Amino acid sequence: MGIAERKIRQREEFRASILEAAWLQVLTDGWQSLSIRKIADAIEYSVPVIYNHFENKEAILLEFTREGFQKLAETLEQVKSHHREPALQLEAIANAYWDFAFDHKEYYQLMFGLGIPACERVNQIAEMKSMTTVMISTIAAAIAVSNDKQANLFLKYHTYLSILHGLVSIQMIEKAGKPDEDKRLILQDAISGFIKSLLAS
């Protein structure tokens, strides 16, 4: 009796159609405004059927997060295989990572919990300038005593802030882990590398 098999297949298809409708939603209006009701509407079923296939909304987002990491990993592996030297590989991976993030913004934001609300917010905040100013002026002073007085100030500032923010937010995602001392080590490592290359380049 192929009935059981067909049923399983149909369930799978149904599940896929939910994800498809959900992803369309995400691509259209961002994952912030994804709603169970809109998905139900799109697939022309009532709301509770969705709960037969996913425990809750979070489970749907989790699915996309998984997909995202899988796609990213594939891409990085592929790109890596195009080179032999580790240095070139690291460079290629970095570029691919960057491209992935911007070619699949919705995935990336989901994967790393970027909440965007701040996006519109942050750009209308004068107070941010004070922070920027402290950093930029200090970097300017560093460049002034460095071996490369022509270094691009804004670029270096941007790199500095990005490193800091990256360290912090990755750390916040992996919330549990590591004692304080180990975390501080990572910070030391990244920043001393930046400073060294800033002064000596």
Structure tokens at 57: 């909304």
Q: In the window 107-126, what residues touch DNA (CB under 7 A)?
A: none
Rounded to whole angstroms, the Cα distance separating 43 from 41 reads: 6
Separation CA 97–CA 76 (nearest Å): 7
Q: Of the listed pieces 29-37, 80-88, 157-165, 168-176, which binds DNA according to CB under 7 A?
A: 29-37
Task: In whole angstroms, give the CA distance from residue 151 to residue 198.
Answer: 8
Residue 174 near a copy of itself by CB under 8 A: yes
Helix (H) or strand (E) holding 103: helix 86-103
15 binds, among DNA, a copy of itself, none (CB under 5 to 8 A by kind): none
CB count, 10 Å around CB of 119?
A: 10
Options 9, 27, 30, 56; binder of DNA; rule CB under 7 A:
56
Q: Among 15, 38, 80, 83, indicate the residue that binds DNA (CB under 7 A).
A: 38
Tell the smallest beta-carbon distance from residue 62 to DNA (Å): 12
Task: Choose which of 51, 69, 98, 112 interacts with DNA (CB under 7 A).
Answer: 51
| Min separation Cβ 45 and DNA, Å | 4
Report if residue 91 touches a copy of itself, rule: CB under 8 A. Answer: yes
Q: Which of 17, 19, 35, 42 binds DNA (CB under 7 A)?
A: 35
28 sits near DNA (criterion: CB under 7 A): no
- DSSP letters along 128-196, please? HHHHHHHHHHHHHHHHHTSS-TT--HHHHHHHHHHHHHHHHHHHHHT-S-S-HHHHHHHHHHHHHHHHH
Q: Which stretch binds DNA (CB under 7 A): 42-50, 100-108, 137-145, 171-179?
A: 42-50
CB of 120 to a copy of itself, least distance (A): 8
| Structure tokens given for 33 | 């405004």
CB 72 within 8 A of CB 97: yes
Q: Does the protein bind a copy of itself through residue 138 (CB under 8 A)?
A: yes
